[in-house]
Amino acid sequence: MYLEDKTILANVKKSVKESFIAPLLIIIFAIVLYRNPENFISVAVSIFGYGAIFIGVLDLVFYFRLNESEKLLSKHMNQGILLIAFGIIAFFENALLSEMITVLLGGYILFQNASRIGLALYLKNKTKNAWIYVLVMALINLIIGLFVIINPFQNVQLNLYLASLLVIAEVFLIIQNILILIGIRSHDKEDK
């Protein structure tokens, strides 16, 4: 394997390890939403605001700790700025974001999984079967993201629907992370 491929795979591995935080926070949000749906969205937008700023700052710190070749492929800078901006907007436009929560969460799911499709295709020649599972789960999550945005249910059902789809999408994202790490580890063993 070329040195460049090893560097890219090391960067992918590092990025995947760092991306376990957001899905876990969203799963917690979904569980609380499912158990306590009344007025939860407005409070959740504020909590998301704090969380977005925190994760955005972490992304920026991660970005500035990378070397130049790692920065090229990193999404930390873009993601960090967007998350901090979202956090600030959450404080000033809470009511608006509360109404748009499904679109925002659906957009997040689409963004994460569009990136995973590209990653799965890159890993096609680098891992045995992990890339297939990552690709299939990313495609399923894209469909889930579209359903979250389209929101075909009434407001009464919205919270249960949203919570269920979020848990499914984020569990798939965690499984994708694990499969990518396993695939890279098996690839590393084959090269030795």
Return averaged pLDDT per consecutive 10 residues of the chain, 192 residues in all.
Answer: 64 73 78 71 80 90 84 82 91 81 81 85 78 86 85 61 80 84 72 60
What does the pLDDT read at residue 81? 93
Lookup result for tokens 């994202």: 173
> Contacts by 79-85 with C-beta closer than 8 Å and gap 24+?
80/55, 80/56, 81/56, 82/56, 83/52, 83/53, 83/55, 83/56, 83/59, 84/52, 84/53, 84/56, 84/57, 84/60, 85/56
pTM of the model: 0.60
CA 163 remoteness from chain centre: 16
The number of domains in the chain is 1
What does the pLDDT read at residue 1? 47
What does the pLDDT read at residue 38? 64
Per the structure, the complete domain to which residue 82 belongs is given by: 3-191
Which are the contacts of 163, defined by CB distance < 8 A and separation ≥ 6? 30, 31, 33, 34
CA 115/CA 145 separation, integer angstroms: 13
Which one, of 158, 155, 59, 162, lies nearest residue 109 by Cα? 162
CA 11/CA 191 separation, integer angstroms: 17
CA 192/CA 104 separation, integer angstroms: 44
